[in-house]
Structure 1
Amino acid sequence: MTLPRSDKARAVVGVTSNRLLVDGVHRDWLRRKYLKALLHHAGVACVILPTIDAEDARLEVGLATMGALDGLVLTGDESNIDPFVLKAPASLPPPDQQDVDGGIRDRPRDRLSAVAIGSAIALGMPILGICRGLQELNIYFGGTLHPSLAEWRLGSGQMHAEKPDRPRDRQYDAAHSVRISPEGALFPIARANEAQVNSLHNQGIELLAAALRREAWAPDGLVEAASVIGAPTLQIGVQWHPEWHASTDLLSQRLFTAFGEACVAYCQTKKH
């Protein structure tokens, strides 16, 4: 059954949540910065997608949920990706490990992202990956990650890491430049060959998946944005956090606006 929507109704996007374990109680959570940016600059309504436990990964609810939506946002998080789980969502954790370890692993989120990305690709809907979300797209399509940028290159680790000596809001100030490919999907959005972006991540793309096109890169060569080759709509991920200063940063506003327009266009195709 499809809920009726007026012609003026907003497009509706699914936004991935993360798993939080406190006092033995599991909670799904999400920073509101994403929702505010999507509402005000993409012009879309949001549905928060719940994380998935291993025993629930076989229930095949992904297409049923995603089929009611017009876009997917893969949010950031401090946890590292478990590539094996993202590629095989029904995988059980090793007997000596928890699925959730704050700031280290979040396998319920990995399962959610695997199901959501697979459904979004199958449905041909817009995708916006942010930070961890870009890395998830790369793993999903067969790419690899540097486990630690500091171990890859000391200077890169310092360039891309959080700045713990700053207040939280100032940690999301511009940290380095990125070069933008003039031949990709990001250039007509950014309308520039170069931009300044924030940077708060420990891992990064090592081998870019063959299904993805490099859209932007940092001074050390690290991939900072990538899009799905041959996608029927905007399917892109960025390593930085455009949601944090979306009210004042022009590139962030343009990225969310382009994503919102793609979601509206996708929504319109479902009406015919």
Structure 2
Amino acid sequence: MKTIGISGSVMEGEFSPILTVRETYLNALNVNGFAPILFPILECTDWMDDILDRIDGVVIQGGIDVSPLTYGENPTLESLDFHLTRDQFELKLIEKSLERKIPILGICRGLQIINVYFGGTLHQHLSLEDAAVIHHRNREIKETKHFITTKEGSIARRCLGERPIVNSIHHQGIKDLGRDLIATSYADDQLIESIEYKGEGYLHGVQFHPEQMTGDGAKRIFNDFFEEVKKYHE
């Protein structure tokens, strides 16, 4: 049995914050031979090394905004929904996972925090900047979709083909690409939709939500990750 750790998302509770993970992530990861577990979001990370030594893969899920403070900017009024403890936890998780060459899959916010880890920046609110009107949240999130173009030889091309349709459930995105990262797909407005790592190890980040998509392409994104997870610790 291979174990995949997924970073928790934080939401406000009646008395204190609540650590959550959407069922769609668990359903996508809970397939034969794989067991997802939830990482707690804590300021103290002394336990992280011991847990990562037993983990075969890491998924960084979506959620609230990455704080602009983590990439040296002041928040705008549209970028005030963030959780600094989660930001710092996930930056540490990325660092330690890369050290071990643990396969990493980042989804939506996951792609964004990976970019920040490598020194990149984000559009705080796309509708306020010179970026696409196609990138926005919609109450009917499953119906907000657009085309992307994938780069030849990339994981995205291998999984999705050259010109797939993906969902769009975000109001932030990559502005300046981080060092040691490769942009592997773009929306028609040139916003980056997927990334890979130039160094050793498997790191794939996508701006869209494959766990909420149907079709073989979305499944192949997870299957590609699973193949790398299988190889780890062998």
The TM-score with structure 2 as length reference comes to 0.90
1:47 maps to 37
CA spacing shift, 1:86–1:265, aligned 2, 3 Å: farther
User: In structure 2, how many angstroms separate the alpha carbons of the residues matched to 1:74 and 1:183?
Assistant: 24
Deviation at 1:113, TM superposition (A): 0.8
CA contact (8 A) 1:43 1:260 kept: no
2:152 maps to 182
Q: Secondary structure at the match of 1:25?
A: coil
Q: Secondary structure at the match of 1:161?
A: coil
Q: Secondary structure at the match of 1:267?
A: coil
Q: Secondary structure at the match of 1:142?
A: coil
User: In structure 2, how many angstroms separate the alpha carbons of the residues matched to 1:47 and 1:216?
Assistant: 29
Question: Number of aligned pairs?
Answer: 228
Alignment of 1:151-190 (within 5 A): 151-153=128-130, 156=132, 158-164=133-139, 166=140, 171-173=141-143, 175-190=145-160
Give the letter for the 2:155 counterpart. A
CA spacing shift, 1:207–1:60, aligned 2, 3 Å: same
1:122 to 84, 89, 99: 99
User: In structure 2, how many angstroms separate the alpha carbons of the residues matched to 1:86 and 1:125?
Assistant: 24
Percent identity for Structure 1 against Structure 2 = 28
CA spacing shift, 1:111–1:177, aligned 2, 3 Å: same
Q: Secondary structure at the match of 1:258?
A: helix
CA spacing shift, 1:236–1:49, aligned 2, 3 Å: same
1:197 maps to 166
CA contact (8 A) 1:13 1:46 kept: yes
Deviation at 1:43, TM superposition (A): 4.9
2:231 maps to 265
1:241 maps to 209
Runs of 4 or more above 6 Å deviation: none
CA contact (8 A) 1:50 1:112 kept: no
Deviation at 1:131, TM superposition (A): 0.2
1:74 maps to 60
CA contact (8 A) 2:70 2:116 kept: no
CA contact (8 A) 1:76 1:130 kept: yes
Deviation at 1:174, TM superposition (A): 5.6
User: In structure 2, how many angstroms separate the alpha carbons of the residues matched to 1:105 and 1:43?
Assistant: 34
User: In structure 2, how many angstroms separate the alpha carbons of the residues matched to 1:43 and 1:256?
Assistant: 13
User: In structure 1, how many angstroms separate the alpha carbons of the residues matched to 2:15 and 2:71?
Assistant: 24
User: In structure 1, how many angstroms separate the alpha carbons of the residues matched to 2:142 and 2:96?
Assistant: 31
CA contact (8 A) 1:81 1:105 kept: yes
Give the letter for the 2:13 counterpart. V
1:159-217 per-residue CA deviation (whole Å, 9 max, x = no partner) reads 111222x3xxxx22461101000032322233x21110000111100001121001111
Root-mean-square deviation (Å)? 2.0
Structure 2 residue runs without a partner (length 5+):
73-78
Structure 1 residue runs without a partner (length 5+):
1-9, 88-101
Alignment of 1:15-94 (within 5 A): 15-40=6-31, 43-53=33-43, 56=44, 59-77=45-63, 79-85=64-70
User: In structure 2, how many angstroms separate the alpha carbons of the residues matched to 1:44 and 1:174?
Assistant: 30
User: In structure 1, how many angstroms separate the alpha carbons of the residues matched to 2:178 and 2:70?
Assistant: 17
Give the letter for the 1:251 counterpart. G
1:226 to 166, 177, 195: 195
Residues 1:209 and 2:198 aligned together = no
User: In structure 2, how many angstroms separate the alpha carbons of the residues matched to 1:135 and 1:199?
Assistant: 14
1:105-146 per-residue CA deviation (whole Å, 9 max, x = no partner) reads 122221221121111100001000000000010000000101
User: In structure 1, how many angstroms separate the alpha carbons of the residues matched to 2:169 and 2:195?
Assistant: 18
CA contact (8 A) 1:43 1:257 kept: no
CA contact (8 A) 1:16 1:113 kept: yes
User: In structure 2, how many angstroms separate the alpha carbons of the residues matched to 1:217 and 1:174?
Assistant: 16
